[in-house]
Each structure stands twice: as C-alpha cells, then as structure tokens.
Structure 1
Amino acid sequence: MLPEMTALQIGHCKAPAFAARRDAGLRPIRFPAGAALIRRTALGSLLFDTGYGAAFFTATQSLPERFYRWTTPTRLLPAESLERQLSRLQAWPDLVLLSHLHADHVCGLFDLARLPPVLTSREAWNALQQGGRLATLKAGCPELVRRRLLSLKPRFIEDYPTIPSPLSDWLSGPCYDLAGDGSLLALPLPGHGAGQFGLLLPQTTTGPQFLISDAAWSRAALRDQVPPPDAIIRRLGVPGDYSRTFRSLCALSRGRPDIGLWPSHCPEAFS
C-alpha cells in the first residue's frame, strides 16, 4: 500500500504579510505551524516536524526570550496540541523527523507522553551546540528549548545511504534514502537555519508530495516567484543560499506541477 499523508496544524503565529513575500504589506496574517503524519511506510508512521507546544511558552516567559513571543504572537489551542491530534487519529509516530531545529518546528515534540526516536541533520545538531543564550535566541531556538533538544540522542540524516535524486534537474545536493526503498527521501534545502532538510514522498495515496519546511513560506510565493525580503532571510539564514533554493523550488513547481509542495507556514497548505 502507498504511504498516506495527513497535514496537521500545531498552533500558529501572527506576523506581517511581507515576512512571507517581499511585495506584501504590513498587515498581520496567520502563519500556521505545519506538521505531517505519514503512515504506512517501511519505517512505520513518520512525523515530519511537530509545531508549537507548551515548551515554547515556558521558554519565552522571561526576557530576552520574551521578545520572540512579542514579535511573533503565538497561539496554540488545546485541541491543536500534537498529542491530542495524534490521539484523535489513533496514530503514534515510530519516528520524528525534525526538518531543522527552530522552536516552531520542535516544541510540540515535548508534549508527547512518550518520545519516539528523533531524526535530524548533523549540521543542525552541531550548530545547536554553538554560542550562548543570545546567539541561540537569534538562531530561532530559545535556551530552554535548546537544552531539552540537547538531552535527546537523535539519529542523523547524513548517516543514511544516498541514491540519485529524482529532483536533480532542479535541486543539487545529496539525496538520502531513509527507508531503503526510495519512498522517503531527505533533500537538503539550504538557506533558512542550519542544516534544513525537506522530505520527498515520490508516491502517496494522493500523488507525490514534497515537504519543504521553511524553504518558502507559501505556495503562492512560489507560484509568483516572490521571495521574502533579504532582511527577513538574513535574520535566520543566508540570503544567497536561500535565494538559490527558492529559485530552484519555483522552477520545480513549474516543471513538476504533479508534486504537491508543502511550505510549513503556508495558510493554503495547513489551514
């Protein structure tokens, strides 16, 4: 049977519309914290990212971390918690893949009553261990969240075998075969945060899907080829790398319209 993907929204934040695309205005809009549950894979059930959780609000109670919550006001309804949504689906992940280690992608993990094994990139893990409290905050991961992450013993994407990428016409870099059968492929998407990876599912019950994390903030921005402002990119990443990845995804969306693209904060994708 083919893998089945279920999109989840684990809370949301509000930020100016131009954070997603440089031609938008100052009007605040909702940015969902998207995650995805992929069932019926060779690895069992896989969870891609975990959204917000109680750990985020605990970690941003005090200054200077409070600025994170002030600049991007965040809300997580009880019914949106990762634990409750998984319970409603009667599903439990056998493995969690964290695309990168920013707080809005990892905090839901710590709401789970039982932590599954975690998979992330070695580059992101090494970067997490660098710098002090302010540097950690500027890198998108408040200190208390960082400490909880560092208590884990993750597996690393870079330790998996590589195969020729089915997207090599658009994206450069290695393609990691997570399941050993070509059904779950991790692809680097540099530019936003350290060691960011996307997850390509060449076949699912609804066609091929590509979870692209924060390599873009909306499907509309990719369709219109309008990236975020450099100032937004620079705050959490490398503008040159981000621009190259973004242009590649724009070309991919035109060249392979059959592939569903899932930016983690896209209201169209995670509504």
Structure 2
Amino acid sequence: MSLDLVPMRVGFCRAPALASRRDAGLMPMEFPAGAALIRHPDQGDILFDTGYGVAFWQSTRCFPEMLYRATTPAVLPVTEELCSQIDVPPALVILSHLHADHVAGLFDLPVMAPVLTSRAAWVAMAKGGPIATLRRGCPELLRRRLLKLSPRFIEDSATVPTPAGFGALAGPFYDIMGDGSLLAVPLPGHGDGQFGVFIPASRDFLIADAAWSRAALRDNMPPPWLVLAQLGDADEYMHTFNALRTIMAARPDVRMWPSHCTEAFG
C-alpha cells in the first residue's frame, strides 16, 4: 500500500535556540509548528497534528495564560493557516499530544473531523484547574474546547509486532487504521501521553516533540536538563531520545519528522 506524506508548517514560535539543544546559545530562533497530511488510498486524508490556530490567541488573552504567549511568541501567516493548505477536510485528525501548538489549528477546520489521540494524554489534560493545565501546555479555554470532543484512543487499537529495528522503544505498537498502514507508539518524556506514528510503506516516522530536530538526534544534542524537566519527565525524555538514535543507526532508511525541526518543516 502506497501512502504519501505532505509536510506542512502551520505557524511558528520564537524561543531561545538553547531550548532545542544544550550546545546552542540564547539568541532567539524560529521553530516551525509542523503538521503532516497523510494521503491514504482507502481511508482518505489523515492529518497528524494541527499546529497553531485562532484558538491559541483566543485562549491566551488573559492572565495567567498570556504568559504562554509572552514566553514563546507565535506567528501564523495567512499562507500557513491550516485551511490555506488543505483542500478537502481530513477524514481523521491524529493529535500526538495535547499541547496548544499541536492542537489549536484543529478548531480552524471548516468541518470537525474525528479525532484520535492517546487516552493517557486525554486523562491528564482533563485534570486540574487553569494553572495545572497551563503547566501541561494547554491553556484553559483551549482545554475546555477539547473536552467537548469525543475522541478515539490509540490504546483501543490492536497491537502488532514491533517493526524491525525499533526494539529500543518499549512499545507497544498500535495498528490505528486496522490495516497496518499507520503504527502508533508511545514516545514518553515530553508532555503527557505523547506518541508518534510510523508509516511502514514510506518509512516515515512522525515523532512529535520526542526530539527537537533531526540534527539534534544526529549530533546527540538534547535540550538542557532543566528544559526537559519543565516540559515533562527528563529521564523518560532521554530514554526516548536515545531510543530514536538507536533506531537511526539500525534503520537508516527511516526518515524522522520532529515537529519543530526546520530541516523537516522549513
């Protein structure tokens, strides 16, 4: 089965380069909000993550959510809006995790598509008040809009054997489309319930924020420990990061897609 992957940049934010790799400086740089359209010949277009959208600015107008906007200023050019890049509404939207820069664009779609995410991410997002949810990367108003949805969960899909060369990941691998075309696997460490999607036919691996860039993986340069601890579990992040490096060595034919990588998403 042949599947095509169309990478998209849905806005970007500015942050110190040091946030992405520990050998970088404090000069600000642009980090794209990557999304990908997977063209499935039988099941329609599938959207992996949604980048920025109007809901991000709506949900960060007031304190304390405005701190999110202030610390990582975001920009969404008209040409990068999700609806400017998609001709037909997707048949399914996959949300790798529930941070605002991965989910806000969902609410710009003219027709709300079915959503697939992880139960672990959903349960964690549903807990707590405005401060707790902001610390999890999802402003309160955006969280409330998400909670009105009725998503499917990857954990309800059948599991399949680990693909060759992917044994460094703890798994399990979930057959989320029921035909072996898209395999979801947990990528713990950054955010609650984060997972990636491997496309066996094209050998593309969408890894969300499990690494900041392809170069960081090649150079063995994760973000500073303090950044990792603020965003999630630093120990789990490093385990996942090292597992991805092991996969790169074992499967040089696999192409990694970190969501904020300028090499991948421009």
Partner of 1:212: 207
Partner of 2:250: 255
Unaligned runs of 5+ in 1: none
- Superposed CA deviations along residues 170-204 of structure 1, whole A, max 9, x for unmatched, are 21120000122211000100000000010000113
With structure 1 as the length reference, what TM-score do the two structures score?
0.96
Deviation at 1:169, TM superposition (A): 2.3
- Superposed CA deviations along residues 48-76 of structure 1, whole A, max 9, x for unmatched, are 00000000001111111111111101000
Q: What secondary structure sits across from 2:160 in the alignment?
A: coil
Partner of 2:154: 157
Q: What secondary structure sits across from 2:143 in the alignment?
A: helix
Partner of 2:104: 107
Deviation at 1:29, TM superposition (A): 0.6
- Aligned partners of 1:75, 1:106: CA distance in 2, in Å? 15
Q: What RMSD, in angstroms, separates the aligned Cα atoms of the two structures?
A: 1.0
Q: What secondary structure sits across from 2:237 in the alignment?
A: helix
Partner of 1:188: 186
Letter of the 1:230 partner, please give it. Answer: W
Contact 1:121/1:156 (8 A) holds in 2: yes
Letter of the 2:145 partner, please give it. Answer: R
- Superposed CA deviations along residues 13-62 of structure 1, whole A, max 9, x for unmatched, are 00011111011110111000000000024432110000000000011111
List aligned pairs for 1:31-180, cutoff 5 A: 31-86=31-86, 90-166=87-163, 167-180=165-178
Partner of 1:232: 227
With structure 2 as the length reference, what TM-score do the two structures score?
0.97
Q: What secondary structure sits across from 1:11 in the alignment?
A: strand
Contact 2:89/2:109 (8 A) holds in 1: no
| Identity among equivalent pairs (%) | 58
- Aligned partners of 2:12, 2:172: CA distance in 1, in Å? 32
- Superposed CA deviations along residues 115-147 of structure 1, whole A, max 9, x for unmatched, are 000000000000011111011111100001000
Contact 2:89/2:110 (8 A) holds in 1: no
Unaligned runs of 5+ in 2: none
- Aligned partners of 2:43, 2:240: CA distance in 1, in Å? 28
How many residues get paired? Answer: 265
